C-alpha cells in the first residue's frame, strides 16, 4: 500500500500566495488617462467617443430589426435610447470643441474687440463767431454717422462743441451747448437715437482772450462701439449658431 504525503494547510496557503500576482498600483495610469481627457478638447473627444459607441448600439439593433432577428419591443426602445444618447453626446462634443476654439482664438477676439471699439473723431460742423447755426457742415459724414448709430444700437457718439475766446465765458458756454445740440439734431435726423448721443459743451477753448479762431468754432463727433464678448455659458464666439 502506497503512502501519500499531504502538505499542511499552511504550506498550501504559502504556495497559493506565492503564485498569486500582486495587485498593481494603477493610480498613475488613471491620472494619465484623466489628463488626456481634461480640458475642453479632451472632453470633446470623450463625448465624441461615447456618441460613436451609442450609434453603434443603435445601428446594430436597427440591422437586426430590419432582418427580423428581434421581435422584442424592448430592443427597439434600447436602440431609440442609444440614438438619443448619441445625439446628446454629439452636441456636448460640439460645445466643448467650440469652447476650446474660443480659448485658442481669444487673442484674435480681443484684437477684434479693440478694433471695433476704437474711437473715431469727425469734425462735422463749423460756426461763425457768436453763431450756433453752422455755416459749413460735413453732411455726408453726419449722415454716415447717423446711419451707423442706427445700425449699432449699443454704440455711442460724443458731440464736443467749443467756441473761441471772443465774448464772455458764460455766454460762450451756453453758445457751445447750442452748437452741440444743433449737431445732435442733425444726427437724430439721420437715424441716431437721442440716448446714443452725449452732448459735451466745453465753452471757450484755451488761448488769448478776445481772439477769433475758426479752429475753435467747431463741433467734433467721437464715435465708439461697446463690444461685449459673450461668456461661455451664454454662447460660443466661434460657433454663434450653437445653442
124 and 82 co-located in one domain: no
* Domain assignment of residue 18, yes or no: no
Digit-coded pLDDT (tens) for 132-163: 999 999 999 999 999 989 988 888 999 999 99
Query: Dihedral sign, CA of 183, 185, 187, 190?
Result: negative
User: How far, in Å, CA of 181 to CA of 199, rounded?
Assistant: 7
Let me know whether 158 and 91 are in one domain.
no
**In this structure, is residue 6 part of a structural domain?**
no
> Does residue 239 belong to any structural domain of this protein?
no
Picking from 104, 131, 159, the residue at the C-terminal end of a domain is 104
SS3 content of the chain, % helix, strand, coil (to 5): 55, 15, 35
Could you read off the pLDDT of 31-68 as tens digits, one per residue?
777 777 777 777 888 888 888 998 898 888 888 888 77
**Pairing mode, if any, of strands 136-137 and 197-204?**
unpaired
Spatial distance between the Cα atoms of 165 and 143, rounded to a whole number of angstroms: 30
Number of folded domains that form the chain: 2
Do 124 and 218 lie in one domain? The reply is yes
Same domain for 138 and 188, yes or no, is yes
Asked if residue 132 and residue 188 are part of one domain, the reply reads: yes
Which residues of the chain carry a pLDDT beneath 70? 1-22, 70-73, 102-118, 225-243
Indicate the pairing of strand 156-163 with strand 197-204: parallel
Domain span including residue 149: 118-224
What distance in Å separates the CA atoms of residue 17 and residue 22, rounded to the nearest whole number?
9
Amino acid at each position: 500500500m502506497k503512502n501519500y504525503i499531504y502538505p499542511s494547510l499552511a504550506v498550501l496557503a504559502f504556495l497559493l500566495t506565492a503564485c498569486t500576482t500582486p495587485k498593481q498600483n494603477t493610480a498613475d495610469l488613471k491620472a494619465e488617462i484623466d489628463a488626456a481627457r481634461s480640458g475642453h478638447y479632451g472632453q470633446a473627444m470623450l463625448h465624441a467617443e461615447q456618441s460613436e459607441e451609442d450609434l453603434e448600439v443603435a445601428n446594430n439593433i436597427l440591422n437586426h430589426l430590419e432582418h427580423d432577428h428581434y421581435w422584442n419591443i424592448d430592443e427597439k426602445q434600447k436602440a431609440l435610447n442609444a440614438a438619443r444618447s448619441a445625439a446628446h453626446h454629439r452636441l456636448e462634443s460640439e460645445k466643448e470643441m467650440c469652447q476650446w476654439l474660443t480659448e485658442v482664438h481669444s487673442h484674435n477676439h480681443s484684437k477684434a474687440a479693440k478694433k471695433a471699439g476704437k474711437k473715431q473723431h469727425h469734425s462735422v460742423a463749423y460756426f461763425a463767431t457768436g453763431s450756433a447755426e453752422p455755416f459749413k457742415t460735413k453732411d455726408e459724414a453726419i449722415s454716415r454717422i447717423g446711419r451707423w448709430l442706427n445700425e449699432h444700437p449699443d454704440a455711442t457718439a460724443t458731440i464736443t462743441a467749443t467756441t473761441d475766446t471772443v465774448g464772455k465765458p458764460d455766454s460762450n458756454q451756453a453758445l457751445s451747448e447750442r452748437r452741440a445740440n444743433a449737431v445732435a439734431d442733425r444726427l437724430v435726423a439721420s437715424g441716431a437715437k437721442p440716448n446714443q448721443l452725449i452732448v459735451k459743451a466745453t465753452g471757450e477753448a484755451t488761448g488769448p482772450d478776445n481772439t477769433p479762431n475758426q479752429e475753435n468754432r467747431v463741433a467734433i463727433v467721437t464715435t465708439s462701439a461697446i463690444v461685449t464678448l459673450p461668456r461661455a455659458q451664454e454662447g460660443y464666439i466661434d460657433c454663434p449658431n450653437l445653442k
